Chain A
Amino acid sequence: MLRLSLLSSLLLGGLTACGSQPEPTAAPASTETATAAQVIQLDGSSTVYPISEAVAEEFQTQNQGKLKVTVGVSGTGGGFKKFCRGELDIASASRPIQKSEMEACAAAGIKYYELPIAYDALTVVVNPGNTFLSTATIEQLKQIWAPESQGSITRWNQIDPSWPDAEFKLYGAGSDSGTFDYFTEAVVGKAKASRGDYTASEDDNTLVQGVAQDVNALGYFGYAYYAENQDKLKAVAIATASGAPGVLPSDQSVIDGSYVPLARPLFIYVSEKSLARAEVKAFVDFYFANVADLAREVRYVPLPPEAYELVKKHLADGKMGTVFHGEPATAVTIEDLLSREASL
């Protein structure tokens, strides 16, 4: 019966598309429910993609394909756009949901759970041939990346007189990515504030190649890209103030909170309506039962076990909404994040 109605709705839909029958709007809706009932739709951040892909792969192997998941890569912003239109069950994000996105979700009546899944350590890298730069302070990075520096600060010795008199080349995330938003917020102090005269790419491999081939290059991207290319790149230790010890990105430094402010939590946002469906509930449960191992496998840093317990508790208690209230935030510990009050 369902099949028949689907068939007719599709045929009608097809006809409408040809412009010969401009009528039915109810028909495509039944198409949507028919697919939505089987397929769990997840979309969003490209940074979170490897984790979600790994979870989706294992989930389907374990269910022998009975429950179906699709994972898209629309970017954090693109994912939220679809999520707040009700087209997704789960949105993945490399930054918390923003004010405008919260409003869009509220307007569409979409309630959601904000669930941290793992950490990524944004890594500042230089060419291995760079001998003078092994630790950088946030202040120095700000000097390098601030919008005011464009055109005026272009040589290493302008940052530190002991560094060589050579022009540096910068490589960084494209302005559409959550990585860009987070890095500028954490380093420059204002989201999306960055100089423009650098090589920007959404494809991190381009940035890896650029830094690996130029001794005067400096770049930043997610830890996974550094981890896979350690022979071609050198990570720069980050010091919060001059004189403070530099901290290199690692599991340890991310979890104990010393790799600030470039350790960032990654999230999935699960729609309340979708979570009521048994298959979505099963997937989310599976996600949190396995994400620690799978995240490590794809080079991300899992949260401490207590944090996952808290996340599960929030789910069970029905604690919805975001704890960031639409404000960008950096250097938030996971304990703090999980104990804050949430708003929708």
Chain B
Amino acid sequence: MAIAAGLRQTIARAKRNDVLFVALGVAALLFAACTFVALFIDMVGDGAARLNGDFFTQFASRRAERAGILAAWVGSFVVMLVTALFAVPLGVSAGIYLEEYAPRNRMTALIEININNLAGVPSIVYGLLALGLFVHTFGLGASVLTAGLTLALLILPVVIVATREAIRSVPGAIREAAYALGATRWQMVQHHVLPYSLPGILTGVIIGLSRAIGETAPIVTIGAVSFIAFLPPSPVSSSFPFLNFDWLASPFTAMPIQIFNWTSRPEEAFQANASAAALVLVAMTLLMNALAIWLRYRLRRNLNW
């Protein structure tokens, strides 16, 4: 009798703790969600009125109602393009090498520790590195190329780690099956490991890019300008060789810089512009994340093993 009562008590206590933990979890979640929703609603309230076609096709201006984000969104876009062009091949290759080729020794361990640490380095440090290396030593100036390379360095650890995680999730039996059929290591990677881990790699790449697009500190450090009323030259030209790379050397501004610039203006009207631009930036980030989820879903569907 006494034992049963004691047991009942223990069970009741455990159940109470269970409910308590759920309540705590929900409260934490609600707190985070409510903060975000409140900020977001406030931002929509302030900025929604400014969101029209002109806002996207006008350059910045001293008159708030005439100012737009053309230079900023184009700048952010081309910088992301350069970032992806450098970070993806480098990061994915490094991930494949570390996971499939690298011998397990101290050197590899050292590299692994460093990559994991690099993922946690504050972004301003990358900005300072880029200022010394790309801007001054290589003389690339405060250009689209410099910004793209800087942000590529910043997200490289994220891409490498994501690639390795994705490759690790491919079952070992698949590799052995490929070897059994006489495949070389590269054939095995190329035909099996890479396609199967692609969803995970792409997710990592896009999460890295959506971090990079909101970064302000490193691009301010390398000297991105605040006012610019022209776009980088077109990458395609009508005369030989049809492609030109002038746009890489072009000065630029980016969304976070434009937003910061507007919030620090004395005129009240610029605050609405800042909110609207922040909305656009949130939308850009959400879009990129949505793309990651969709890609993962599409590519996973084709996997059947």
Q: How far is the CB of B249 from chain A (nearest CB, A)?
A: 5
Q: Which residues of A contact B227 (CB under 8 A)?
A: 49, 52-53, 56-57, 69-72
Q: A57-B62, A73-B261, A297-B62 are in contact. Are A31 and B266 (CB under 8 A)?
A: no
**A-B residue pair count with CB separations less than 8 angstroms:** 122
Q: Is the CB of B225 within 8 A of A71?
A: yes
- By the criterion CB–CB under 8 Å, are B225 and A43 in contact? yes
- Kindly state the separation between the CA atoms of A17 and B223 in the bound complex, as whole angstroms: 18
What string of 1s and 0s marks CB contacts (under 8 Å) between B58-97 and chain A? 0111100000000000000000000000100010000000
Given contacts A3-B246, A6-B249, contact A50 B265 (CB under 8 A): yes
Min Cβ gap B148→A in Å is: 10
| Interface of B (DSSP majority class) | loop
Contact of B230 (CB < 8 Å), options: A50, A60, A205: A60
Residues in B281-296 with C-beta less than 8 Å from chain A: none
Produce 1/0 per residue, A10-47, CB < 8 A to B.
Answer: 11011011100000010011011011000101010010
**Main SS class of interface, A:** helix
- Is A54 touching B246 in the complex (CB atoms < 8 A)? no
CA distance A11 to B223 in the complex (A): 22
Does B266 lie within 8 Å of A299, measured CB to CB? yes
For the complex, count residues of A whose C-beta is within 8 A of B. 55
Task: Return the CB mask of B260-277 against A: 1 if under 8 Å, else 0.
Answer: 010111111000000000
A106 interfacial contact with B, CB 8 Å: no
CB pair A70 B251 closer than 8 Å: yes
Task: Known A17-B134, A203-B263; judge A228-B268 contact (CB<8 A).
Answer: yes
Q: Verify if B216 is at the interface (C-beta below 8 Å from A).
A: no
Most A Cβ at <10 Å: residue of B86, B133, B142, B263: B142
- Is the Cβ of B140 less than 8 Å from the Cβ of A228? no
Q: A70-B227, A297-B62 are in contact. Are A34 and B246 (CB under 8 A)?
A: yes
The distance from the CB of B58 to the nearest CB of chain A, in whole angstroms, is: 11
Compute how far the CA of A43 lies from the CA of B227 in the bound complex, rounded to whole angstroms. Answer: 10
CB distance from B166 to the nearest CB of A (A): 24
- Does chain B have a CB within 8 A of A4? yes
Q: Which residues of B contact A228 (CB under 8 A)?
A: 266-268
Measured CA separation A28–B61 after assembly (Å): 32
**The one of B59, B138, B224 that contacts A17, using a Cβ cutoff of 8 Å:** B138
B134: chain A residues at CB < 8 Å are 17
Residues in chain A near residue B141, CB distance under 8 A: 31-32, 35, 87
Question: What's the nearest-Cβ distance from chain A to residue B83, in Å?
Answer: 13
- Tell me how far the C-beta of B113 lies from the nearest C-beta in chain A, rounded to whole angstroms: 20
B37 CB, nearest partner CB in chain A, Å: 23
The residue in chain A whose Cβ has the minimal distance to the Cβ of B141 is: A32
Least Cβ distance of A125 to chain B in Å?
Answer: 13
* Chain A residues within an 8 Å CB radius of B237: 3
Q: Which residues of B approach A to under 8 Å, CB–CB?
A: 59-62, 86, 90, 133-134, 138-143, 145, 149, 223-230, 237, 241, 244-246, 248-251, 261, 263-268
Q: List 25 A-B contacts (CB under 8 A).
A: A3-B246, A6-B244, A10-B249, A13-B140, A17-B138, A18-B86, A18-B90, A28-B139, A39-B251, A41-B251, A57-B227, A57-B229, A60-B230, A65-B229, A68-B230, A71-B228, A72-B223, A72-B225, A72-B226, A73-B261, A203-B263, A204-B264, A205-B265, A228-B268, A294-B62
